[in-house]
Amino acid sequence: MKNFDVLLFDLGGVLIDWDGTTPLVELSAGRLDRETARRFWLESPWVTRYDQGQCTLEQFADGVIEELRLNLSRADFIAAYSTWVKAPYPGAEALLLGLSRRYRLATLTNNNATHFARIQQQLNLERYFSQIFASHLIGMKNPIRRSTTTSPNNSALRQSALPSSTTILNA
């Protein structure tokens, strides 16, 4: 087996239970099917803005409500949205603890201030990860399609750049 210097993890849906698809179908009273709801998270400009730290939670909520024509208040949307991050999957912490003894661990995750705060509370990220790249903190979403040397918001990536000889396994 090849030796790796760094194991790179995503958080939501990999180590942390997150489901925004089912609740979005429910909030839309069935107007959105599962595939449309799934694509919303990948394609909505409001999701991108919030995940990149470019708008407030309130602006995000208003934008989503308008874009999807949801029949609920901002407060109700925020209350629901805040609960969509659940807990670490069973065994996730034991896995990270075991791997962190042998490898350097890092995370590159599309996340926002709302969900990231909850994840940090539930899974002490600093305990396992030597580097944490959350989209709302670095101003970019994964996959990063542009060069980190030309991106305007890349100071976190540049400052933490790994040597070119580093072997990374995206777990």
Q: Comparing C-alpha atoms, which of 82, 166, 88, 163 is closest to residue 127?
A: 88
DSSP state for residue 54 in the 8-state scheme: -
Q: Is the dihedral of CA 166, 137, 50, 80 positive or negative?
A: positive
Please list the pLDDT of the chain residue by residue as tens digits (171 residues): 457 788 999 999 899 999 999 999 999 998 999 999 999 999 999 999 999 999 999 999 999 999 999 999 999 999 999 999 999 999 999 999 999 999 999 999 998 999 999 898 888 899 999 999 999 999 988 765 543 333 344 444 444 545 444 444 555
User: From CA 19, how far away is CA 84, in angstroms rounded?
Assistant: 6
Q: What single string gives the DSSP state of each residue in 93-143?
A: HHHHHHHHTTSEEEEEE---HHHHHHHHHHS-HHHH-SEEEEHHHHT-PSS
Task: State the distance between the two ends of the chain, measured CA to CA, in whole angstroms.
Answer: 15
Strand partners, 106: 8, 131
> How much is the pLDDT for 126?
92
User: From CA 170, how far away is CA 160, in angstroms rounded?
Assistant: 17
> How much is the pLDDT for 121?
86
Greatest alpha-carbon pair distance for the chain in Å reads: 53
User: From CA 128, how far away is CA 28, in angstroms rounded?
Assistant: 38
Q: How many CB atoms lie within 10 A of CB 45?
A: 11
Region label for 87, one of left (φ > 0), alpha (ψ between -120 and 50) or beta (otherwise): beta
List of residues 6+ apart from 15 with CB closer than 8 A: 9, 88, 89, 92, 96, 123
Instruction: Report yes or no on whether pTM surpasses 0.85.
Output: no
